[in-house]
Structure 1
């Protein structure tokens, strides 16, 4: 693997964070707002992992040319996203069950 490419374990974590951010961004109905939020989230993700958009794009180009590596990363990412979704559904279920119904007078 070329030295200027983000290693698979780190890239997997970056892609996970990007997909979580994309999920949130897709819930924003106002296009201009979603673009601003997206830019901010991506910058935060790049900063968190010590990369920039150019290194991310360069690495994605590499991984697109090496689909087996990308596929292996996405198998792990999909499991993590599914686990997170189950946890969120459980939390929502608990929150809904704790809603207090007002007493009828």
Structure 2
């Protein structure tokens, strides 16, 4: 798993009990127990929110923030990644953790005013190359029904490394909390220098990897590329949640059509 994809005895006993009640068998020893995993994910998300305000030129600080979470909880990034994979495959245990996280996020809501686009990231100058991953946000996001925590946004300014017929592909892996299932939507737009726009959206109903691609078909240069993921409210007012991980935004140079 990509490095960015990601944000005591009593605790262990509680974790085992939750696991036994949720899936009928103990959690493996190498998996972070539920109580501790809840605290790790909580701090990881808070570091995500702090990192979103870091300028692109200081992007290395995002990794320092992320590593500080692992150091605080005395775990390795590898153990966190493997534990996250385990929990996404064990729905009941993940739902237990997510329900508690949601309550904690809501308690913070009054302290975070008008931050409706907390999951935003902007890049300034892209990397050269025929095939480049342009994503500079986090690789892992936790989305809930809280307005401060229900979407991911990005805006990428065009530059000299963009070519006339580039293709942009945005991919990520969705994991819905089963008891809270709803749907999400992902969308991406390319804005040209003459302010014309091409765009595409995709409704997401199922967990798994999804890919959204846009091919530039204009002689105009690319002014910007933007996109979003939005977790829809549940029509029955039930809780909902989703983990989004493994995010990549790939740009591919394609040769101009020959005559």
| TM-score normalised by L of structure 1 | 0.75
- Could you say if the C-alpha distance between residues 65 and 88 of structure 1 is closer, same or farther in structure 2, counting changes exceeding 3 Å? same
| TM-score normalised by L of structure 2 | 0.32
Task: State the distance in 2 between where 1:16 and 1:37 align.
Answer: 19
- Structure 1 residue aligned with 2:56: 31
- Paired residues for 1:1-105 under 5 Å: 1-28=27-54, 30-34=55-59, 36-89=60-113
More relative contact order, 1 or 2 (CA 8 Å, 6+ apart): 1
Deviations 1:11-59 (A, max 9, x none): 000000011111111223x33423x122111111111111010000010
Count, aligned residues: 87
What is the SS of the residue equivalent to 1:2?
coil
Deviations 1:51-103 (A, max 9, x none): 010000010010011122112111111111111221344xxxxxxxxxxxxxx
The gaps in structure 1 that reach 5 residues or longer are 90-105
Structure with greater helix percent: 1
Task: State the distance in 2 between where 1:57 and 1:25 align.
Answer: 19
- Could you say if the C-alpha distance between residues 22 and 4 of structure 1 is closer, same or farther in structure 2, counting changes exceeding 3 Å? same
Task: State the distance in 2 between where 1:78 and 1:71 align.
Answer: 10
Two-structure CA RMSD over aligned residues (Å): 1.4
- Which of structures 1 and 2 has the bigger CA Rg? 2
Structure with greater strand percent: 2
- Could you say if the C-alpha distance between residues 67 and 31 of structure 1 is closer, same or farther in structure 2, counting changes exceeding 3 Å? farther
The gaps in structure 2 that reach 5 residues or longer are 1-26, 114-259
- Structure 2 residue aligned with 1:100: none
